[in-house]
């Protein structure tokens, strides 16, 4: 049986890249988006070498409505939509938060995710099958200092996932919310602005890897069609809460 199309936003690094490779190994065609097209092309080539019959790429900036429309028009009908593009910007307390960080996180993590989903869902509903997998975060389940807006954006993703599950009831489309804890990807480089500060975040303990999270994504996507894994909360063994990590 032929495998369905997997559309991934934010496939140029981290979870998106690792999930693309995982789906490629299972023989799925892919359509990958992110802003860094050169990186995307490298990921797509690796995916084709790994077993994907076709790995398409297109520049995608989820902060731009036009970019989303053009990406989704080219994307075809996804069997799996992995809404993964996202970021945290800064660790400032709210009183000192930069406006560009506030707007950047909400536009990327919330508005972008909704627009991509809105653009692709009608095709999935018409096909009466499919799976929307949203990258939330462990931060969707609590709060921490310096994380007000990031956590708020991920709480929003969780609310969106829960609402979609109600709205898509009867369509055969599954909805999963993935909520990983701290994982060493490019996430902290983007958040803190440099490699050295990012490295410190993971010093002295073993965080999740992109491959760990991708493996869980592949697992939820490969359950039989009558099984919906609604939520996955996973952390490194060393991470006991949003604020407690055991080092040493
Ligand atoms: N790492 C963690 O600790 C962690 C934990 C829980 C949840 N998450 C969530 O998991 C998702 C993936 O993060 P990651 O850890 O894999 O980080 P990452 O390595 O920094 O990857 C983020 C991906 O999102 C893409 N992206 C960012 N802004 C975008 C935009 N405006 N338009 C299109 N793509 C955009 C990036 O591509 P370009 O820069 O090329 O556009 C990149 O491919 C995010 O939603 C993040 O919030 C991460």
The pLDDT of residue 242 is: 98
71-127 pLDDT tens trace? 999 999 999 999 999 999 999 999 999 999 999 999 999 999 999 999 999 999 999
Ligand 1 geometric centre to CA of 164 (Å)? 22
169-210 pLDDT tens trace? 999 999 999 999 999 999 999 999 999 999 999 999 999 999
Task: Say if ligand 1 is within 6 A of residue 186 CB.
Answer: yes
Domain positions in the chain are: 6-234
Selected from 3.40.630.30, 3.10.129.10, 3.40.50.720, 3.40.50.620, the CATH number assigned to the domain covering 6-234 reads: 3.40.50.720
User: For ligand 1, atom 44, which residue shows the shortest CA distance?
Assistant: 86
Structure tokens at 51: 């077993």
Q: Is the pTM of this model over 0.95?
A: yes
Task: Say if ligand 1 is within 6 A of residue 184 CB.
Answer: no
**Ligand 1 site-directed mutation target among 12, 14, 64, most atoms within 8 Å of CB:** 14
Kindly tell me if the per-residue pLDDT of 219 is higher than 60. Answer: yes
Ligand 1 geometric centre to CA of 47 (Å)? 19
Would you name the residues annotated as active-site residues? 150
Q: pLDDT tier at 132 (50, 70, 90 boundaries)?
A: very high
Task: Say if ligand 1 is within 6 A of residue 140 CB.
Answer: no
């Amino acid at each position: 049986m032929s495998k369905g199309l997997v559309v991934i936003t934010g496939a140029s690094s981290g979870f998106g890249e690792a999930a693309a490779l995982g789906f490629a190994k299972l023989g799925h065609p892919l359509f990958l988006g992110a802003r860094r097209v050169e990186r995307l092309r490298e990921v797509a080539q690796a995916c084709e070498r790994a077993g994907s019959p076709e790995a398409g790429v297109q520049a995608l900036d989820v902060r731009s409505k036009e970019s989303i429309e053009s990406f989704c028009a080219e994307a075809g009908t996804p069997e799996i939509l992995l809404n993964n593009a996202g970021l945290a910007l800064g660790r400032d307390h709210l009183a000192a938060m930069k406006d560009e960080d506030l707007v950047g996180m909400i536009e990327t993590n919330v508005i972008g995710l909704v627009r991509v989903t809105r653009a692709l869902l009608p095709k999935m509903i018409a096909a009466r099958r499919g799976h929307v997998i949203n990258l939330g975060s462990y931060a969707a389940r609590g709060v921490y200092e310096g994380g007000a807006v990031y956590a708020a954006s991920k709480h929003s993703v969780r609310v969106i996932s829960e609402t979609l599950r109600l709205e898509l009831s009867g369509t055969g489309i599954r909805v999963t919310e993935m909520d990983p804890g701290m994982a060493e990807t490019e996430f902290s480089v983007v958040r803190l602005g440099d490699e050295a500060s990012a490295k410190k975040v993971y010093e002295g303990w073993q965080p999740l890897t992109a491959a760990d999270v991708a493996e869980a994504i592949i697992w939820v996507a490969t359950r039989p069609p009558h099984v919906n894994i609604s939520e996955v909360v996973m952390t490194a063994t060393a991470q006991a809460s949003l604020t407690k990590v055991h080092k040493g």
